[in-house]
Structure formats: structure tokens, C-alpha cells
Amino acid sequence: MVEDEVADRRSNSIALPTRRSLLKTAGIATLGLGAYAVAACQGTTSSGTTAQAANSSSVLDNWLSSKTAKLGVDLTTPPLQYKDSSGKPVGYMIDITEAMMSDLGVTPQYVEIPFGQLFAALAAGKFDMMGIAATILPSRALKGLFSAFPVFYETIVIFLKPGSHITSIDQLNSPSVTISVRQGTSQEYSAHLLFPKAQFRAFAQGADQLNEVAAGRADAAPDSEFNAASNLKQYPGMTIMPGPPLFVDCNTYFMPLNDFKLQAFVNNWLRYNATHLNLLGRWATWVGPQVKGLLTSHAVGPDGEATPVTY
């Protein structure tokens, strides 16, 4: 997608809620009997002190000096980050990252690496910071710093097999129910905790996970809101379970361990753009069309809270 096409998408985006209505209705949804778990995005800590960090060179200083930033990305997840027909990186996260780099007067240089390898690659110094966001898994926080402010929330919903009679989340916690999950995801981890009585089948690829449900060999599958429209189109007969989502993941930037100066800047930049509703506006542009009429999404509100939004 060329730049004028991106501009067209922005100009045709839906009308956003007013700041007043957001401040009145914003807030993370209440946890419902342990089944609806909204993961609040919180700051992470690691060994070392800010005083020690101040005496060491920060990635931020290197960026400002060289005017370039090496950013690790996986460009295979539309509408968050992917390549358009010309090979240009586009998407919600690319929009956010390039706006941040522009404010710094820095040119991003993208280093493409499969998502699962990005964390090890950062630790090995293959790039300066992840240019896309990741779920704030505590195990990942042992290897680097997450921003203390979210970039986006990821609504996880349940896809049901054709003709399913399941109507609520609590019905999934049964020995007679089989749930297909994608290996290594937060959906797999959380589903085992939420539905300990269910049977599970794990798959390395999302297509195999969804095929299992579409063919009726599994009753349900948790998956991201970003895949809602394409899943329903590719697998006719599948439906999305009505009601609240299974949970909402918090995703944000991941950067080198102990680089608190860089973390402080990223925190500040994200908070400023959230209060000016820039994160919410870009979410409407890129994610809104994918979930319109299908489910309630959760955007980053002015204070970083998960704000329910229906497009």
C-alpha cells in the first residue's frame, strides 16, 4: 500500500468517541468469575538502578547521534505490521513506530526476524529495540525492559465449530470439550488455566489450529481479534462466541535490559500520544475495519486503560 492509500484509509476511518465520552466510559472491564481476564499493562523492573543506567550509554543517545535506529520486526501480522504490495512496511505498529522515530529526527532501519526469535536477537545485539510490540509475558521481562505504557491491547475471542451449541465461556471447561490452541502463545497458556477440565490439541501453525475447528474435530479455538474477519471468511460456518472476550492481552515495546533512559522516553512518548487520542485514532484506522460488526475491540485510552470500542 503506497503512502496516498494509507492517507485514504485514515481519512475514511470511523468517527472516534469524544474525549468526554472516553473519560466517562473508559476502564478495564471487570473480571468475570475468573473467566474474563483483562491483563493490565504494568511497568516491569529488572536488576540495576537508574543511577547506574545514567552512567552507561543509552540506545537513545546512539540514535540521536547517528540519526538512525535499527529496529527488529516481524512483518507478517496484518493489520499490525506487514508489507504492502510494493514491499513497504505498513500497519498500526509501523505507523506508531515511524511517528516516534520522526519526533526524534531518526530514520528507522528494519531488521526482519521471525517473531519467536526477536527476543534472543535483541539480547544478542542484532538490533537496538523491537520496532513492534509484544505481550508483556513475565518470562520475557527477565531478558529486557518493556515500556510501562501499552501500545495496544489484543482482544482474544473464542471461535466455535460449525453448528456449535456452546453459548458461554464456562461451558468450555468440560472433559467433553476439545480446544485447539497455537503452540507458544499466551492463548495456549491461559486456556489451560481457564479450562483445566477440557481436552487440548496444540498446533504450530494458526491455519492448522483453525482447520481443526472448521472440520469439527475441535469444539473451539482462542484467537486474536485481528484474525476475526479473515477466519470467518476462510472457514465458513465457524462463529465467534457472543459475550465478553476470553481475555485482553497488553502489548508494548521491548528494549535492552537496564536501558532506563530509553524506557523513560518511550513511556513519555506513548503517554503523550495516548492523551491526545493518537493511539485510538490509528487503532480505528487499521484495526476497526477488521472487527467492524464482529466484536468489541479494546483500544488504548487516554490514561493507558483498555477502552472498549465498537466499530
State pLDDT tens for residues 105-126: 999 999 999 988 999 999 999 9
Local confidence band at 295 (pLDDT 50, 70, 90 cut-offs): very high
Per-residue confidence (pLDDT) for residue 56, from 0 to 100: 66
Q: With left for phi above 0 and alpha for psi between -120 and 50, is residue 216 left, alpha or beta?
A: left
The pLDDT mean for the chain works out to 86
User: Which grid coordinates belong to 244?
Assistant: 465478553
Region at 263 (left for phi over 0; alpha for psi -120 to 50; beta for the rest): alpha
Lowest mean pLDDT of 49-58, 138-147, 182-191, 292-301, name the range: 49-58
How sure is the predictor about 145, in pLDDT bands with cuts at 50, 70 and 90? very high
Q: pLDDT at position 41, please?
A: 61
* Residue 109, C-alpha cell as written in the block: 532501519
pLDDT at residue number 118:
94
Q: Are 257 and 195 in contact (CB under 8 A)?
A: no
What whole-number distance in Å separates Cα of residue 129 and Cα of residue 259?
10
Q: Is the pLDDT of residue 173 over 80?
A: yes
Q: How many CB atoms lie within 10 A of CB 180?
A: 27
Q: Does the pLDDT of residue 64 top 50, yes or no?
A: yes
Q: What is the mean pLDDT of residues 285-304?
A: 95
Nearest to 115 by CA among 155, 156, 76: 76
pLDDT digits (tens, 9 = 90+) for 86-97: 999 999 999 999
pTM reported for the whole predicted model: 0.78
- Give the residue among 147, 114, 132 at the shortest CA–CA distance from 71: 132
Say which residues have a Cβ less than 8 Å from residue 201's Cβ, sequence separation at least 6.
178, 179, 180, 181, 212, 217, 218
260-275 vs 278-286: helix crossing angle, rounded to 10: 80
Which domains, from first to last, does the chain contain? 3-151+253-309 (3.40.190.10), 156-240 (3.40.190.10)
Residue 183's pLDDT band, with cuts at 50, 70 and 90, is confident
